Amino acid sequence: MGRPLFAALAVVALVAGCGGGSEAPRLSSAQFASRADAICRTYNSRSNAIAQPNSLTELATAINKLVPLLDQSIEKLQKLSPPKDEQADVDKWLAGVQRLEDDLRSVQASAAKKDAQGVRAALESGDAHNKRSNAMAAKLGLTVCSQ
């Protein structure tokens, strides 16, 4: 009885791994840029709705609201299927966006501790990562995401 059960499970696993799901079709460059920019536009709109902080405490609170929005945007961007010849650049760009999220978390942690120097250092790091990320987005033909 153990052997037929094992064989049945193996077949189910094989079918699920090989043909069960289909990968999203690859987008053209223009389609990818349009969809990515739409995601960035939504993120920008939602992030701009967060009140501008006037203190380190408010900054920590604002970033607590901002990070989930960025997480959602990154998840949506990762689901897009860019043209095969752009995949490596898209992966680099998304890795850069992820570094920005890490920088935001560093700013938040420093702000929560009321460490102004730590906030400044994390913001400088974030600014450098943001410039590289924007340049990569521009290279991919993204207009909203490159700002």
The answer to whether position 20 is within a domain reads no
Q: What does the alpha-carbon distance between residue 91 and residue 62 come to, in Å, rounded to a whole number?
A: 28
The answer to whether position 67 is within a domain reads yes
The answer to whether position 11 is within a domain reads no
Q: What does the alpha-carbon distance between residue 126 and residue 142 come to, in Å, rounded to a whole number?
A: 20
Q: What's the structural domain count of the chain?
A: 1
Residue 12 in this model has a pLDDT that exceeds 50: no
The answer to whether position 104 is within a domain reads yes
How many whole angstroms from its chain centre is CA 93?
Answer: 9
Which residue type does 13 have? A
The answer to whether position 127 is within a domain reads yes
pLDDT band at 54 (very low <50, low <70, confident <90, very high): very high
The answer to whether position 85 is within a domain reads yes
**68: domain range?**
30-139
The answer to whether position 9 is within a domain reads no
The answer to whether position 40 is within a domain reads yes
Q: What does the block give as tokens for 50?
A: 């967060």
pLDDT at 13: 35
CATH code, 44: 1.20.120
Cα dist from 26 to 47, 51, 75, 83, 143, whole Å: 29, 38, 17, 5, 20
Residue 6 in this model has a pLDDT that exceeds 50: no
pLDDT band at 23 (very low <50, low <70, confident <90, very high): low
* 135 in Cβ contact with 147 (< 8 Å): no
